Structure 1
Amino acid sequence: MQTKIPLIGIHHIAIICSNYAISKQFYTEILGFEIIREVYRKERDSYKLDLSFQGIYYLELFSFSETPARLSRPEACGLRHLAFEVSNLDETVHILGQKGLPCEEIRVDEFTEKRFTFTSDPDHLPIEFYER
């Protein structure tokens, strides 16, 4: 008898945003996700945007008319942050700065000795960039 659920991977991450147009621009134009489909759900007055990166479905972006703000950063219960792997952290920080997104000071993971930093999406969800 199998005791573990036979997971084969992570399917997607869902994010609820406060300003759909701004978040759509952030995830597509700044981070480079591609739109798979965009649906307006009239009964909910809500958009749902399915996004992929390098052909793999990763994110769902939702809008709703009223959403509570995130309680604290980054230690609120729930999703702590999204982390993206990059090959050159210095270049990533430079590009983010050119796009008006300040990053925290670069740190080094004490266990892996890899460098990383954080910025935020338009709703202040922490976004981590972790150097390969």
Structure 2
Amino acid sequence: MSETYRYLEELSRIVKVDEENRESIIWNSVEGIKGEEDSIFCNKKGSFLVEEFVGMYGREELDEMMKSIGNEKYYIIINDAMGSRVIESIYKRYLMIIGTMKEKEIEESNKIITEPIYKIIKEEEKRIKW
């Protein structure tokens, strides 16, 4: 995690001064986290750093982030105080940009956003066996 964290710190510094490459730097933050979402999101320093980037994300970055989290990591993240803050910031960012999205994009993003929690609920229903 420390290598990824240092990478995100560096991207955070660069994105503030390199307007020309801003979009690719922001995308690189998404790519840099892949595979380590749970350890980065659930770490105090990591979560604050990710939240900083989430505020810059557009739909593509948010969708990619949610897809890369996956169902198992999602459960871990939402049950962690710091991790759940990151998920909350992702949801809030979607709400901020929804007015810029086309209807089809909204539908696609809604599926990506709701799939992890839907699967958790379905698994819990199986466990309870109504």
Q: TM-score, normalised by structure 1?
A: 0.24
Q: Which has the larger radius of gyration?
A: 1
Higher strand share: 1
Higher helix share: 2
- Bigger relative contact order (CA 8 A; separation at least 6): 2
Q: TM-score, normalised by structure 2?
A: 0.24
